[in-house]
């Protein structure tokens, strides 16, 4: 199986980067991913205040990037105007993981409650995150950042948008398929920012950030669905659309708009009936990074 090591990382989604791998549609491949802190906090010694002060200074100066992604991967046959269906086949984690918030940082909205930073390095043992002596959390591995090169600009890998990006959807896990737009030949797929476990909202701006090996495959859908504005996710039990931006109420409306139009186009629903059903059984849930998802259980689709 084709394999890309984690030294092939980028901090932008951009079509100006040379592909690190070429694959056939449906071919499985493995990407090693770096954690969101660029692998710089791997032990208790790395998490000490002096070490973190140096880390923060280097990051502020631009010498250390944030939220690395591995890629791009060129998928043969993908052309502008198509869509790329990326299946998460497996995620293998590399202990330990790390969670932190930074005092005074805008992306950790409750940091004003604290007088200093907090960093926690947590081992992952036998399928569980060892949070402390009492608490063990079953892992739920997920890909936090996945996307294709956007149409024109280079976008930071910490951002989410219509290209995908840092959506932080807990459902992008083994067995899920992500549908993304193709804006350039080969689609130019990137993935990274794996979490061992994450709650909705990722309220302190990190989850259990962890290195991984992600097994993926990608199929090309010729022509993008008419109703597709934002990325889509399909799991064994649900379909969902992921929108990002502010204000959040309008972003949630955009996610539900795409969900209702998807039900109409692919599942034959009357648009008004789909809207009425959504208000009864669909969920609107926060991801993080100003991204939200609208979720429709498959059992209601018919």
List the CATH number of the domain containing 283. 3.10.28.20
The tally of domains found in the chain comes to 2
pTM score of the predicted model: 0.96
Tokens representing residue 231 in the block: 């990325």
257 shares a domain with 137: no
Can you count the helices (H) and strands (E) in the chain?
3, 22
Same domain, residue pair 279 and 247:
yes
Residues 131 and 259 in one domain: no
Mean pLDDT computed over 184-188:
98
Distance CA 215, CA 31 (A): 7
Token pair in block for residue 146: 């996945």
Domain limit, last residue, from 221, 241, 266: 221
Task: Provide the residue range defining the domain that includes 254.
Answer: 232-300
Asked if residue 116 and residue 9 are part of one domain, the reply reads yes
Q: Are residues 155 and 271 in the same domain?
A: no
Question: What integer pLDDT is reported at residue 116 of this predicted model?
Answer: 87
Examine the pLDDT at 163 and tell me if it is beyond 70.
yes
Statement to judge: residues 10 and 136 lie in one domain: yes
The confidence band for 106, taking pLDDT boundaries of 50, 70 and 90, is low
Q: Are residues 209 and 244 in the same domain?
A: no
Q: Provide the 3-class DSSP secondary structure of residue 271.
A: helix
Cα 140 to Cα 22, 38, 136, 208: the distances in Å are: 29, 21, 12, 10
| Residues 141 and 36 placed together within one structural domain of the fold | yes
For residues 150 and 258, state if they share a domain: no
For 280-290, how does the pLDDT look when each residue is reduced to its tens digit (9 = 90+)? 999 999 998 78
What's the CA gap between 173 and 89, in Å, rounded? Answer: 8
Is residue 109 over pLDDT 70? Answer: yes
Q: Tens digits of per-residue pLDDT, 21-55? A: 999 999 999 999 999 999 999 999 999 999 999 98
CA dist 232 and 230 (Å) reads: 7
Q: How many residues does the chain have?
A: 302
Cα-based distances in Å from 32 to 71, 135, 146, 229, 295: 10, 29, 13, 29, 29
Please determine, for residue 107, whether its predicted confidence score (pLDDT) is greater than 80: no
For residue 157, the number of C-alpha atoms closer than 13 Å in the C-beta half-sphere is 28
Given a contact cutoff of 8 angstroms between Cβ atoms, the answer to whether 130 and 123 are in contact is: yes
> Do residues 149 and 258 share a domain?
no
Element at 250 (helix H, strand E): helix 248-267
């Amino acid at each position: 199986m084709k394999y890309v090591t984690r030294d092939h990382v980028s901090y932008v989604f951009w079509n100006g980067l040379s592909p690190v791998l070429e694959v056939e549609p449906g071919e499985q491949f493995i990407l090693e991913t770096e954690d969101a802190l660029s692998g710089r906090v791997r032990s208790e010694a790395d998490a000490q205040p002096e070490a973190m002060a140096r880390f923060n200074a280097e990051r502020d100066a631009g010498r250390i990037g944030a939220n690395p992604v591995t890629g791009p991967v060129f998928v043969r046959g993908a052309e502008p105007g198509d869509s790329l269906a990326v299946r998460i086949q497996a995620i293998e984690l590399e202990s330990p993981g790390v969670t932190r918030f930074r005092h005074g940082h805008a992306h950790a909205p409750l940091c004003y409650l604290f007088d200093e930073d907090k960093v926690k390095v947590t081992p992952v043992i036998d399928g569980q995150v060892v949070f402390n002596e009492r608490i063990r959390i079953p892992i739920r591995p997920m890909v936090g950042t996945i996307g294709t090169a956007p149409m024109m600009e280079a976008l930071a890998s910490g951002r989410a948008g219509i290209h995908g990006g840092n959506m932080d959807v807990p459902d992008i896990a083994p067995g899920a398929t992500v549908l993304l737009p193709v804006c350039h030949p080969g689609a130019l797929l990137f993935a990274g920012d794996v979490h061992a476990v994450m709650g909705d909202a990722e309220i302190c701006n990190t989850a259990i950030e962890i290195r991984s090996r992600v097994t993926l495959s990608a199929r090309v859908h010729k022509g993008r669905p008419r109703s597709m504005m934002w990325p889509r996710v399909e799991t064994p039990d649900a379909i969902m659309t992921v929108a990002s931006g502010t204000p959040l109420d309008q972003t949630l409306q955009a996610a539900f708009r795409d969900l209702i139009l998807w039900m109409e186009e692919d599942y034959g629903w009357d648009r008004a009936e789909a809207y009425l059903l959504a208000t009864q059984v669909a969920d609107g849930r926060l991801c993080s990074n100003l991204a939200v998802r609208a979720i429709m259980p498959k059992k209601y689709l018919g």
